[in-house]
């Protein structure tokens, strides 16, 4: 059996499972492993320091898999933004077929991607943002519930409500994101009307994830209570694994200190150092509440096969068996 959905058919993938775009983690190697396992792997463009480095990563991914993969382009408000248009040009010129946009005002980029025939998925955290993306012409949205790692938005709506609300409001496929790490979550998301799931934290705890084993073990050892919401007082809320850095940031926010007081603690370079060294206390570690459902570090192939098998059994046996 297989799980065929509007998303698997749109993207040309076997399993309705998408690897989220993750800074420092969404490399060509991880994306290829997910795609080879039948899901949709995603290269995170800004993980690479230059557009040329991204082009090389796309070439490397193609050498590792012949299956569909995506590139994530996340747009962040900044006084000194990356050269987004140059990264976009590389994505187009390299013949990438699927792109995931995220972040601030993607209209310019969506229009260009669509003009060149790409499939565009936009990641968002609210139904109104999803509706705006649909009006821009995206092909699907990935909707992030409050449980997710990274930036859950400021409205605190969990997936059990947000996913069906998005499905009800939209005419395009919905990919469920946040709090999903096993076949139960996959089956539940499909039951809520989603056409696939998007996972980030769960893919960090896989053999192929390009982070230190010490960080992977840390994710396995934590439970669903061990996350912190930081940067909320600056209207840029982020969910991260609880550690010394996240606690220091929360304490500074409680004192009413300006962002400059915590900037050195949360900067991306420091987080990357921690992922590489294996020290979970060195910088912020983006992680969702799904940590409570992560108990091992499998290969991507083993993870996807297990999830799909679990979901199929739930749909075919447990749920069908309730009908009398």
Measured CA to CA, the distance from residue 167 to residue 201 in angstroms comes to 24
In a domain, 167, yes or no: yes
Is 59 domain-assigned?
A: yes
Q: 243 is in which domain, residue-wise?
A: 213-289
- Specify if 191 maps to a domain: yes
pLDDT in tens, 168-224: 999 999 999 999 999 999 999 999 999 999 999 999 999 999 999 999 999 999 999
What's the number of domains the chain is made of? 2
- The pTM (predicted TM-score) of the whole model is 0.97
Q: What is the 3-state secondary structure (H, E, C) of 79-126?
A: CCCCCHHHHHHHHHHCCCCEEEEEECCCHHHHHHHHHCCCEEEEEECC
Query: Mean pLDDT across the stretch 286-292?
Result: 98
91 plus 238 within the same structural domain? no
Residue 226 has pLDDT above 70, yes or no: yes
pLDDT tens digits, residue range 103-138?
988 999 999 999 999 999 999 999 999 999 999 999
* Mean of the per-residue pLDDT values of the chain: 97
pLDDT band at 2 (very low <50, low <70, confident <90, very high): confident
Q: Judge whether 127 lies within some domain.
A: yes
Confidence band (pLDDT; 50, 70, 90) for 252? very high
In a domain, 128, yes or no: yes
Cα–Cα distance for residue pair 256/60, rounded to 1 Å: 46
Are 267 and 282 in the same domain? yes
User: Are residues 165 and 73 part of one domain?
Assistant: yes
Do 135 and 218 fall within a single domain? no
Q: Which residues pair with 175 in a beta bridge?
A: 142, 196
Nearest to 270 by CA among 20, 21, 24, 22: 24
**CATH number of the domain where residue 98 is located:** 3.20.20.70
Task: Indicate whether 139 and 203 sit together in one domain.
Answer: yes
- Would you state the pLDDT for residue 87? 98
Name the pLDDT band for 1 (thresholds 50, 70, 90).
low
**At 75, is the pLDDT very low, low, confident or very high (cuts 50, 70, 90)?**
very high
Share of residues in the chain with pLDDT > 70 (%): 100
How confident is residue 18, by pLDDT bands cut at 50, 70 and 90? very high
- 14 and 162 inside one domain: yes
175 and 241 assigned to the same domain: no
189 lies in the same domain as 222? no
Same domain, 166 and 243: no
Percentage of the chain exceeding pLDDT 90: 96
User: What pLDDT, on a 0 to 100 scale, did the predictor assign at position 76?
Assistant: 86
Q: What is the pLDDT of residue 200?
A: 98
What's the pLDDT tens digit per position in 311-321? 999 999 998 88
294 occurs within a structural domain:
no
Query: 139 and 102: one domain?
Result: yes
Is 1 among the domain residues?
no
Is residue 54 in a domain? Answer: yes
Give mean pLDDT, residues 246-257.
98
* Co-location of 277 and 312 in the same domain: no
d(CA 121, CA 134): 10
Same domain (yes/no): 43, 173: yes
């Amino acid at each position: 059996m297989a799980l065929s959905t509007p998303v698997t058919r749109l993207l040309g993938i076997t399993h309705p499972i998408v690897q989220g775009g993750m800074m420092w983690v969404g490399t060509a190697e991880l994306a290829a492993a997910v795609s080879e396992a039948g899901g949709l792997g995603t290269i995170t463009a800004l993980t690479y320091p230059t557009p040329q480095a991204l082009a090389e990563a796309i070439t490397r991914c193609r050498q590792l898999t012949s299956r569909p993969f995506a590139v994530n382009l996340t747009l962040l408000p900044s006084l000194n933004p990356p050269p987004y248009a140059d990264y976009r040009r590389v994505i187009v010129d390299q013949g990438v077929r699927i792109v995931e946009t995220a972040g601030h005002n993607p209209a310019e980029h969506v229009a260009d991607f669509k003009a060149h025939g790409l499939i565009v998925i936009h990641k968002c955290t609210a139904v109104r943002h999803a509706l705006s993306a649909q009006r821009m012409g995206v092909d699907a949205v990935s909707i992030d519930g409050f449980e997710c790692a990274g930036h859950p938005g400021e409205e605190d709506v969990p997936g059990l409500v947000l996913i069906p609300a998005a499905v009800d409001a939209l005419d395009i496929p919905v990919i469920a994101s946040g709090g999903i790490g096993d076949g139960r979550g996959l089956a539940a998301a499909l039951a809520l009307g989603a056409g696939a799931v998007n996972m980030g934290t769960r893919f960090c705890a896989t053999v192929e994830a390009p982070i230190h084993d010490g960080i992977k073990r840390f994710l396995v050892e934590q439970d669903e209570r061990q996350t912190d919401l930081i940067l909320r007082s600056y209207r840029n809320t982020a969910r991260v694994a609880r550690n010394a850095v996240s606690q220091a940031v929360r304490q500074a926010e409680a004192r009413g200190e300006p962002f400059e007081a915590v900037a050195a603690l949360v900067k991306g370079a420091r987080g990357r150092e921690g992922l590489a060294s294996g020290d979970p206390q060195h910088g912020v570690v983006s992680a969702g509440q799904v940590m409570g459902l992560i108990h091992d570090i499998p290969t991507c192939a083993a993870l996807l096969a297990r999830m799909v098998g679990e979901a199929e059994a739930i749909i075919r046996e447990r749920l069908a068996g309730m009908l009398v």
